[in-house]
Amino acid sequence: MPKRLPKKQYEAYYKAVAARDGKECHLCGKTPDQLVHPLEIDHVDENKNNWDIDNLRFLCKSDNTAKGNRNRAARRRRAAESLATGQVGPGANNIYARAHPATRSLKELAEYSKGKPAMKANFLMEPKFRDFVLHHIGSFGPTPPEELELAGAEYCGSQPRTARNYLAKMTSSTGPLRVVEGEDGFPVVVKRDD
């Protein structure tokens, strides 16, 4: 994740873009007095670490949000195409590879940019939670469900109750995990094939 610039440094870039382009949205032409929110600095190449002045421009909050939604939709389309062509794996950047095949099909059809905030949040957090849990169990072995819920919630930025629901899906009859009795008699989560 890109580091946030210190306020003074951000303000210096803001002033430089304003001096070069004027204070207006690059796409719609609205000025700050026509907007509710201040203009935002947009990275043309989408690389949030590229602060080269030629890579920066102003967008209003509405246009910047719409651009982000279009970019996410394009990444989902590319992911679906890579899934269809069998190019799945770490290098394929495929967010659907981690889901059950039936779920993948539904996620490919859903328009998350038009969904409710909870739907958008789940689309971002659940794959991160799943990756965390699978990696944790692969690295540390059987783990108490409460530990996975709390640590996973912290890792992916969700509420513990939401993480509990994600883990319940993963330990369901079609999920990749199951709950068994540990050596100490308390429940632990293991991979289904263990």
> Containing H/E element for 26?
none
* pLDDT single digits (tens) 4-39: 788 999 999 999 999 999 999 999 999 999 999 999
Fold of 115-191: Arc Repressor Mutant, subunit A (1.10.10)
DSSP reduced 3-state for 178: strand
State residue 81's pLDDT score: 66
* Cα gap 84→78, rounded to integer Å: 10
What residue ranges of the chain have pLDDT lower than 50? 1, 88-98, 105
* Contact call for residues 177 and 171 (beta carbons, < 8 A): yes
Where in the chain is CATH 1.10.10?
A: 115-191
Token readout for 137 is 């169990």
pTM summary value: 0.45
Q: Hey, is 162 helix, strand or coil?
A: helix
CA dihedral 106, 110, 115, 119 (to 10 degrees): 30
